[in-house]
């Protein structure tokens, strides 16, 4: 091998090394720019649980199913399914229970049950006093950065807690007409508005539940045994 050939191999080797480093750098920075790293952007397939008026029953939202284009109606967060009526009911309300009772999922348990309510109608006991859900209840909950927290159901623990936001009323009329589900599947998702830490809305009036999971405790999927675990 003469000197010119040796020089050519050195140049080619250096070029390949530089290209490999460039690819590694691009891959690294590409990962950092992944939209899924941003909790306020939907995933690439628009598979975030969503409420679209008229698509499901009362207190239900759409959850991604097992197939790419499959969507399933199930209870919204902090609500439980009642097999006898086929409806979804808010935790810590009378729901489908007898007068003087409320529905709950006690800590450590998996199924909802009706418990005796020692408080007047439409109130519930919290911190040794009777309170009204989604209200501050005269300072029972703190005021943080000028926001008065309210008594509500923590969607993670399914227990009463002081929250910075109350339950969103899904029955309120939406500002704009809602198009077909197929339009939602193809929708680019700009102009999302933050409703609270768990819910976003778009211009069409769809509500996206960022922390909702289909097989949550008390859901129809969980109670009907259709979940994998």
Residue 114, pLDDT score: 98
Residue 29, pLDDT score: 25
Residues of the chain with confidence (pLDDT) below 50 = 7-44, 173-189
Residue 226, pLDDT score: 86
Residue 43, pLDDT score: 44
Q: Give CA–CA dist 181/13, Å, rounded.
A: 53
Question: Does pTM surpass 0.85?
Answer: no
CB burial of residue 208 (10 Å; 0-12, 13-18, 19+): buried
């Amino acid at each position: 091998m003469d000197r010119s050939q040796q020089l050519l191999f050195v140049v080619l080797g250096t070029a390949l090394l530089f290209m490999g480093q460039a690819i590694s750098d691009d891959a690294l920075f590409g990962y950092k720019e992944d939209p899924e790293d941003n909790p306020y952007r939907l995933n690439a397939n628009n598979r975030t649980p969503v409420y679209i008026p008229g698509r499901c029953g009362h207190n239900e939202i759409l959850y991604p199913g097992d197939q790419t284009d499959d969507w399933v109606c199930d209870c919204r967060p902090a609500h439980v399914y009642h097999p006898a009526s086929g409806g979804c009911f808010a935790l810590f309300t009378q729901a489908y229970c007898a007068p003087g009772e409320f529905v709950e999922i006690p800590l450590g348990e998996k199924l909802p049950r009706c418990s005796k309510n020692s408080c007047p109608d439409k109130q519930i006991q919290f911190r040794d006093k009777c309170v009204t859900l989604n209200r501050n209840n005269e300072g029972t909950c703190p005021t943080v950065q000028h926001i008065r927290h309210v008594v509500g159901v923590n969607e993670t623990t399914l227990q009463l807690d002081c929250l910075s936001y109350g339950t969103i009323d899904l029955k309120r009329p939406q500002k704009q007409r809602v198009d077909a589900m197929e339009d939602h599947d193809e929708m680019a998702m700009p102009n999302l508005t933050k409703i609270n830490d768990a819910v976003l809305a778009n211009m069409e009036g769809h509500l996206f539940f960022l922390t909702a999971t289909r097989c949550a405790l008390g859901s129809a999927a969980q109670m009907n045994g259709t979940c994998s675990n």
